[in-house]
Structure 1
Amino acid sequence: MTKFKRFWMYVFLILAAAVSIFPFLWILVSSTNLSKDVSNGRLLPGAQLIQNFQHLTEQINLGQALWNSGRIAVITTVLALLVASLAGYGFEIYRSRAKDIVFNILLLSMMIPFASLMVPLYRMFAQFSGTLPFIGVDTVASVILPTFTTAFLIFFFRQSTKMFPRELLEAGRIDGLSELGLFFRVYLPTMKTTYAAGAIITFMSSWNNYLWPLVVLQSPEKRTIPLLISNLGSSYSPDYGMIMVAIVISTLPTALVFFLMQKHFVAGMTGSVK
């Protein structure tokens, strides 16, 4: 590649990076300004960060909201990885014509929008409220159960399992491991990059989930952070500086998870098996 082409390639990449980063920088800068400064499009940092944070803690129970979101996201991620990896492992390692038909039907479910399932799901959980209150409407379980695994995640694990070395399974069987032992002691440690990628995808999706928790969570003390941020912006005269502080705080956990597992995420998405 000539120096001239390389120069324009770097110019394009710098411009693309600037466009991608600008919204995040604007949110950070806006969290330090007054609401009127945010409305006027001020792009310089202010001195109102602490004041905006104090107003936020006065408006909502921030700690409770973060606890609700964190608890739901962690439980959902753990269950999703366990169920999806077991399903993907079983579909690929123990292949049969019947299993392939079931898997194809499972993939077809990805074409159904979740919004069309909300009414029957809500009616089902409403019926459970009378008999099984711990999984009825307005419970943590009602948020987790419909979303703790997806057809995409099962598909993702099955595709990654295609590159899993089958010789390890044969060696484990020779050593006397059971089928579950092979999964937990051979497959799971070998596919750690795939688990990391799946964990990031699931955690971020669960943390940012808005529509279903809005429908099923009715008590204010059980609301997650996206619901409370939405409520802050629905007032007659919203405080944009306070809202930006809330957005920054709600973004930190997902950003931390992504940056801590970034290398594993890239390896998992490219199909690397170690």
Structure 2
Amino acid sequence: MSKKAKASNAVQYVILTILSVVSVFPFLWMIIAATNKSVDVTKGTLIPGTYFFENLKALLASDLQYLNAFKNSLVIAVVTTVLAMLVSSAAGYAFEVYKSKGKDRAFNIILLSMMVPFAALMVPLFRLFSKFGNIPGLKLVGLNSPGAVVIIAVATAFLIFFFRQNTKTFPRELIEAARIDGLGEFGIFTRIFMPTMKSTYAAAVVVTFMTSWNNYLWPLIALQSPQKRTLPLIISAMGSSYTPDYGMMMTAVVIATLPTALIFFLMQKQFVAGMTGSVKG
């Protein structure tokens, strides 16, 4: 290898090292802050302390109902992810496999909805879900219920688009062979398409779970009861107090980060394969 190539590689490694440190430092500081007192966090100390369990005890003993919020977030994220995988994948599959001009127009309208900011939808959604609460059969999706948070994320334009694009790589020969063998359309979807596209599902699971877990704005509007609040609302309330306990706050953030980090690292390979459009599990 020439000296010029070695110098170029050295520069690349230095740049990548600097970028890695910049990316990892906030997470490292968050963990360090969770082990220190609030006064040490405000001083900007970068040395791990021994105050983590005291911060944890204070967090659990506070009136924030942190464990209840953790449970609410987990239930909403899991239910949203499961339903979104079923509904959005079926929609993406149908748009690609059963093509027609009408379906293409409907799909274009769905894509156009991605251009509408959520801030423009908040008032209409609030009025709509407030009416749902007065209808006996729709109270489960009315305001101040987890269903109100779940239902708007079950079929999103991004997920439908994502599944349709990945369905383009699905071997059509499998569909034709299954039809010849007498398998119905529902069986083709559940017994052939879903297992074959499990890397796509893995990528969608990671994105959907993280989005639902970190969702703040709509739960803030829809979940009006303190017992229904999710983790982002609790953490936001901790930071807006008159004298915030930063050590306790960082402990809450560290615990709230664990589920998403765990899911990502467990499904990292499938996530990368799914995002690149691979059909191999």
TM-score computed with the length of structure 1 as normaliser: 0.98
Shift in Å at residue 107 of structure 1?
0.3
Aligned twin of 2:132 = 128
**2:44 is aligned with 1:41:** yes
Matches within 5 A, 1:15-94: 15-59=18-62, 60-94=64-98
Matches within 5 A, 1:245-256: 245-256=251-262
Aligned twin of 1:177 = 183
> Following TM superposition, where does structure 1 have runs of at least 4 consecutive aligned residues deviating by more than 4 angstroms?
none
Q: How far apart in 2 are the matches of 1:152 and 1:209?
A: 16
Among candidates 10, 14, 30, match of residue 11 of structure 1:
14
Shift in Å at residue 135 of structure 1?
2.1
**2:95 is aligned with 1:95:** no
**RMSD over equivalenced CA pairs, Å:** 1.0
Identity %: 59
Indicate the SS of the match to 2:134: helix
Q: How far apart in 2 are the matches of 1:134 and 1:197?
A: 29
Among candidates 261, 265, 269, match of residue 259 of structure 1:
265
| Alignment deviations for residues 174-229 of structure 1 (CA, whole Å, 9 cap, x no partner) | 11000111101111000000000000000000000000000010111111111111
Matches within 5 A, 1:114-263: 114-132=118-136, 133-263=139-269
Q: Aligned partner of 1:158: which letter?
A: R
Indicate the SS of the match to 1:147: coil
Q: Aligned partner of 2:25: which letter?
A: F
Shift in Å at residue 99 of structure 1?
1.0
Shift in Å at residue 6 of structure 1?
1.4
Q: Aligned partner of 2:34: which letter?
A: S
Q: Aligned partner of 1:72: which letter?
A: I
Q: Aligned partner of 2:141: which letter?
A: I
Q: How far apart in 2 are the matches of 1:17 and 1:93?
A: 42
Number of residue-to-residue matches in the alignment: 274
Shift in Å at residue 89 of structure 1?
0.5
| Alignment deviations for residues 80-102 of structure 1 (CA, whole Å, 9 cap, x no partner) | 11111111101111111111111
Q: Which runs of 5+ in 1 are unaligned?
A: none
Q: How far apart in 2 are the matches of 1:21 and 1:177?
A: 50
Shift in Å at residue 120 of structure 1?
1.1
Shift in Å at residue 267 of structure 1?
0.2
Shift in Å at residue 11 of structure 1?
1.1
Q: Aligned partner of 1:242: which letter?
A: M
Shift in Å at residue 269 of structure 1?
0.3
Q: How far apart in 1 are the matches of 2:82 and 2:270?
A: 17
Do the aligned partners of 2:88 and 2:154 also contact (CA within 8 Å) in 1? Answer: no
Q: Which runs of 5+ in 2 are unaligned?
A: none
Q: Aligned partner of 2:100: which letter?
A: S
Indicate the SS of the match to 2:121: helix
Shift in Å at residue 63 of structure 1?
1.8
Aligned twin of 2:276 = 270
Indicate the SS of the match to 1:56: helix
Shift in Å at residue 66 of structure 1?
1.0
Q: How far apart in 2 are the matches of 1:256 and 1:220?
A: 27
Aligned twin of 1:108 = 112
